[in-house]
Amino acid sequence: MPKILSKFLIKVLILAGFFLFAESSFAAVIFRDNFEYAVGREDSSAASLFVSQGGWSYVKTYQSGATGSCGYLYTTPSVPGYIGSFPGASSARVLAVEARPASGTGCPVPPGFPGAQTDVYLQLGSEVGPDTTIPENGWIQFWVYSNYYGNELSTYASRNKFLYPCPGTYPCTNLKWLWMTGSGGCNDPSVSGSNRDQFICIESPTANRSNASDDAWRWRLGQNLNTDTKIRANTWTLVKLHIDTSGSQGRYEAWLKTVSGSWVKVSEYIGGVTPSFTWSVTPGGQRLLRMPTVINYNDSWQYMDDFVIAQTEADLPTYGSGSSDTTPPAAPTGLSVN
């Protein structure tokens, strides 16, 4: 083979290999935001910056003119009271979700409610787009930190909307599922605890727990495997969710992990498999996602790093586990006895 031809063939093979690698490495991550860009709390262009820098499709936040939103979204290089590096990959910045329904201005109390609510969110996808913004069998993962320090004394109502997707238009009349956080969660029987900490849960109108304590709880899916583990104040917590609505029966699994801890599976609901549980679903994904939307009554300051939606668990970023850290701490030096 002439030398020039063999060089050409090698180049072609290298290029083909690169594209194959790129396809297999990146195609299955639907969306990722590491929040490594500046969006100010007082910046009126905040909403457009999240769109241009973070890849979100629409944003509602107080400083960009959404006066009834009762909340701020911005990015920050520091969290009051927190010392140490952020848990995300090479992270120098995180998202701040500042919910001010209790003390914000322009927060009307809806009729019949005991307090005001936020209407603040980052949105992915569009109401007329394909239903692949969240795949029908998808994984969602993010770090979250709830602050309880200084002026940021976060507390939570029982349940707040945190991931509010829709296969159609809002308000979502054809809701498949809604993922929530809050001091009460969806645990049945209920579990008491500090309102500084949050349980996680999912609601779906077509989910049916036939052993629920009453009809109001049949479609609410709390932490059925573990209620000792939750999103605790001042603790970076990695949340991993698997939600599969690709078949006739739905599946929901959830795990929590602290920076130095191991994964704890807190929820598992598999329609037709989990005892006393069915979840009839219309196969398909979701056109839109809004995060967080409605945080009820109480003020809170939550921080987020590395938000990812992926098609498979293997596509999610992984972080060091405390159990694999066997390096002993350095011996103290310069000690003296007085």
Write out the residues near Ca ion by the rule CB under 5 A: 34-35, 88, 91, 93, 305
Q: Which residues, at least 6 apart from 49, have a Cβ–Cβ distance to it below 8 Å? A: 37, 38, 39, 43
CA distance 196 to 194: 5
What three-state secondary structure class fits 71? strand
Nearer to Ca ion, 76 or 91 (CB): 91
Beta carbon nearer to Ca ion, 90 or 326: 90
Residue among 142 and 277 whose Cβ is closer to Ca ion = 142
Position closest to Ca ion via CB: 91
Burial of 147 (0-12, 13-18, 19+ CB in 10 A): buried
Q: CB neighbours of 82 closer than 8 A, spacing ≥ 6?
A: 145, 147, 149, 234
Minimum distance of Ca ion from residue 52's CB (angstroms): 17
**For residues 244 and 305, which CB has a smaller minimum distance to Ca ion in the complex?**
305
C-alpha 1/C-alpha 168 separation (Å) is 59
Phi-psi region of 23 (alpha: psi -120 to 50; beta: other; left: phi over 0): alpha
Integer CA distances (angstroms), 255 to 51, 72, 230, in order: 29, 28, 10
When the beta carbons of 97 and 175 are compared against Ca ion, the nearer one is: 97
Shortest Cβ 317–Ca ion spacing (Å): 11
- The least CB distance from residue 36 to Ca ion, in Å, is 5
Alpha carbon distance 138, 132 (integer Å):
10
Q: Taken in order 212, 215, 221, 226, is the CA torsion positive or negative?
A: negative
H or E element in which residue 120 lies: strand 120-125
CB of 314 to Ca ion, least distance (A): 22
Is it true that the peptide bond before 283 is cis, omega within 30 degrees of 0?
no
Residue with Cβ nearer Ca ion (75 or 286): 75
CB-wise, 143 or 179, nearer to Ca ion? 143
CB of 258 to Ca ion, least distance (A): 18
Please tell me the distance from the alpha carbon of residue 324 to that of residue 41, in angstroms, as a whole number.
38
Shortest distance (Å) from residue 87 CB to Ca ion: 9
Q: Measured from the CB of residue 141, what is the shortest distance to Ca ion in angstroms?
A: 14
- Which residue number, 54 or 182, has a Cβ lying nearer to Ca ion? 54
How many Å apart are CA 293 and CA 284, to the nearest integer?
Answer: 23
Task: Tell the smallest beta-carbon distance from residue 182 to Ca ion (Å).
Answer: 25
Residues listed for the chain: 338
